């Protein structure tokens, strides 16, 4: 009986607001269009909503806060509505950025606000109320983060049939470089698939081709990967050495923001669900721990499993930063909501991460392409854009991390649907589909032209015991555990781990700078093996819908080694210069090019060598492409 009474109050407020708007127009005020409402889903979280204020209105809020107003906006029209619905919080969505505040404001992130109010009020009704406010530019619904739902399997018996290292080496001719058990090697078929998994027939080479990549690099502790997920078990026996540690907080005073980053006691990351530095993990909340193991379980320690960028056992693995946004249930339905999701991604960028791993999202079809992309209004999209632009940079724009800018990865989702799934399909993210140990698409994976790349995610319908991705977990008693699981949640960290390994390889012991997030993105999307060859028969609907192909980590490292640009060329009229493109591309038999001003220079491309002959004076740009994602410009001046 409480809610109908509340509805009457809201209706009265709506009428009053409408009357005010009408009076403004009649008195000569200019009539303006109302706020844009985005992501208006019935699945929205009750009791919270996101607003983007107009610049002048944001200034009023800031002034009122400076004058000691602790609640409300300081704008009468908005505050009348906030008071009606018993608002308990009204605050900046992107908190004060501290030393990064200038770039936060430059990107307009200070204009976004978060309101928390009586959850019995439907979001649609709250949006309707606020839509009459002339100081609001955008109204966005808050959606709960959900893990890309996965299936778990009990670990097989320790005595299960295994394959010898000699057989594995003979099949792939790539040695396993560490001392983890042969059983663990077999369980992690997704790194090196020999075609035989505990006597279970699989597809030779249907893996992420990690063993070969380990011949080039095993990781670098300066590379930080943010795992935006459930909390990571930071004291896990096979993860602890590769956890990111905020030394100022570890050695500081409990309950104090020792490093001044706006977050208290964030030693291994932050819990954005409960707004505390204490991370949650258990046997039921193992998702983040499983994801982290694929990226950076400690290698060559004789324990557990291997991580793609877990190092060589000499303290040289990449680091995991835990950004918890998923709460008490595995579905994540009690998670942080949009505010926590956004803050986690910005926190990661401002605290040193250059790779942002996300195995969560919204159910396919929950948000339409039109709703998500209209004017790029989503606050979450802005957070991803911020990460891509500013990760690895200090407040002055100087590169301080191993890469300038970042890369955001998202699991494509497990609805077995071709409907677009967000945030994975956002232009600022790379979406990851899942394959099985047969090389074919996994039965559950989402697919479509919006999926950009695939990776092993497991398929326990083929083999419950051995078909999943094997990684770190949390045992029933809370101790360190290991288990197999399947999902695009498991595929995505393969790509994140491979990206971390690629950054490590480029950066090297000499801490080489120059790599950008965009360069890594291009290299990644040119580093795959075919999935389409398996998309026949019952897999026909996946043809052309699993991205550019399935991840090849070794190829990625080879591409990243040659990702730097091609030097500008100067050539005289009648003279010829040659460029050996094998120094800039790993495969030269697939190269093509375009030229901006074709009559200035004669171009010949044969055997990976490009010859340029000057025809007349001027400047032109040649774009050389590998037929996938890598495109390199050559600036040519004919003198």
Helix (H) or strand (E) segment spanning residue 427? none
What does the alpha-carbon distance between residue 572 and residue 556 come to, in Å, rounded to a whole number?
A: 37
- Cβ distance 284 to 271 under 8 Å? no
DSSP state of 263: -
- The whole-angstrom distance between residue 149's C-alpha and the CA centroid of its chain comes to 17
3-state SS, residue 22: helix
How many whole angstroms separate alpha carbon 608 and alpha carbon 591?
8
- Phi and psi torsions of 109, nearest 5°: -75, -20
d(CA 104, CA 94): 8
> Which pair of tokens denotes residue 598?
């074709």
Start-to-end CA distance of the chain, whole Å, equals 84
Six-digit token string for 285: 């909340």
DSSP 241: G
Residue 210 tokens read as 């990690």
Structure tokens at 496: 């994140």
Torsion on CA atoms 213, 219, 224, 226, rounded to nearest 10 = 50
Could you list the beta-strand ranges (E) of 107-191: 112-116, 136-143, 146-147, 151-153
How many residues does the structure list for the chain?
A: 639
Torsion angles phi and psi, residue 454, rounded to 5? -120, 165
Q: 453, 547 in Cβ contact below 8 A?
A: yes
Distance in angstroms (rounded) separating the CA atoms of residues 348 and 9: 41
DSSP symbol at 442: P
CB 141 within 8 A of CB 40: yes
Active site residues: 229, 287, 489
Cα torsion 22, 26, 28, 32: sign:
positive
Rounded-to-integer distance, Cα 306 and Cα 309, Å? 8
């Amino acid at each position: 009986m409480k809610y109908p009474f509340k509805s009457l109050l809201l209706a009265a407020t709506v009428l009053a607001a409408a009357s005010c708007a009408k009076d403004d127009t009649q008195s000569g005020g200019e009539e303006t269009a109302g706020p844009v409402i985005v992501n208006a889903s019935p699945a929205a979280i009750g009791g919270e909503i996101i607003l983007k204020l107009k610049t002048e209105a944001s200034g009023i809020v800031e002034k009122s806060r400076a004058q000691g107003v602790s609640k409300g906006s300081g704008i009468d029209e908005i505050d009348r509505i906030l008071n009606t619905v018993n608002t308990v919080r009204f605050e900046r969505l992107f908190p004060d950025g501290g030393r990064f505040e200038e770039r936060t404001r430059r990107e307009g992130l200070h204009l976004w606000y978060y309101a928390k109010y009586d959850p019995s009020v439907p979001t649609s009704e709250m949006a309707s109320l606020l839509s009459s406010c002339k100081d609001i530019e955008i109204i966005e619904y808050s959606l709960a983060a959900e893990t890309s739902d996965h299936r778990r399997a009990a670990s097989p018996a320790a005595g299960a049939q295994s394959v010898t290292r000699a057989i594995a080496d003979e099949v792939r001719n790539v040695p396993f470089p560490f001392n983890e058990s042969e059983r663990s090697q077999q369980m992690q078929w997704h790194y090196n698939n020999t075609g035989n998994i505990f006597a279970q027939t699989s597809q030779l080479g249907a893996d992420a081709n990690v063993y070969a990549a380990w011949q080039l690099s095993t990781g670098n502790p300066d590379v930080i990967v943010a795992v935006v997920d459930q909390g990571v078990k930071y004291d896990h026996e096979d993860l602890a050495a590769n956890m990111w540690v905020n030394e100022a907080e570890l050695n500081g005073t409990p309950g104090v923001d020792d490093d001044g980053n706006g977050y208290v006691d964030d030693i291994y990351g932050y819990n954005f669900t409960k707004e505390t530095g204490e991370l949650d993990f258990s046997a039921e909340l193992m998702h983040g721990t499983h994801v982290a193991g694929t990226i950076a379980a400690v290698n060559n320690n004789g324990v557990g499993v291997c991580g793609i960028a877990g190092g060589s056992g000499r303290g040289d693995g990449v680091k995991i930063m835990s950004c918890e946004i998923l709460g008490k249930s595995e579905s994540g339905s009690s998670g942080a909501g949009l505010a926590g999701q956004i803050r986690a991604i910005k926190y990661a960028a401002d605290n040193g991460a250059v790779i942002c791993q996300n195995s969560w999202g919204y159910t396919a079809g929950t948000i339409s392409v039109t709703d998500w992309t209209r004017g790029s209004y989503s606050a979450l999209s802005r957070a991803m854009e911020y990460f891509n632009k500013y990760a690895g940079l200090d407040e002055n724009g100087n590169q301080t991390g191993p890469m300038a800018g970042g890369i955001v990865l998202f699991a494509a989702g497990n609805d077995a649907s071709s409907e677009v799934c967000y945030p994975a399909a956002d232009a600022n993210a790379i979406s990851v589909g899942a394959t099985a140990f047969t090389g074919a698409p996994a039965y559950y994976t989402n697919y479509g032209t919006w999926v950009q790349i695939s990776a092993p995610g497991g398929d326990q319908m083929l083999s419950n015991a051995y078909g999943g991705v094997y990684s770190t977990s949390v045992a029933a008693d809370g101790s360190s555990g290991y288990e197999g699981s399947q999902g695009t949640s498991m595929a995505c960290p393969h790509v994140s781990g491979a990206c971390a390994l690629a950054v490590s390889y480029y950066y090297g012991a000499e801490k080489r700078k120059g790599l950008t997030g965009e360069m890594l993105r291009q290299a990644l999307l040119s580093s795959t093996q075919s999935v389409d060859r398996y998309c026949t028969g019952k897999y026909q609907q996946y043809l052309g819908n699993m991205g550019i192909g399935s991840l090849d980590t070794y190829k990625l490292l080879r591409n990243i080694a040659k990702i730097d640009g091609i030097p500008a060329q100067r050539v005289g009229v009648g003279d010829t210069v040659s460029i050996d493109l094998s120094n800039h591309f790993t495969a030269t038999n697939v190269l093509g090019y375009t030229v901006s001003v074709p009559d200035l220079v004669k171009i010949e491309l044969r055997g990976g060598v490009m010859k340029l002959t000057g025809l007349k004076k001027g400047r032109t740009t040649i774009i050389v492409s590998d037929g996938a994602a890598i495109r390199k410009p050559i600036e040519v001046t004919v003198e």
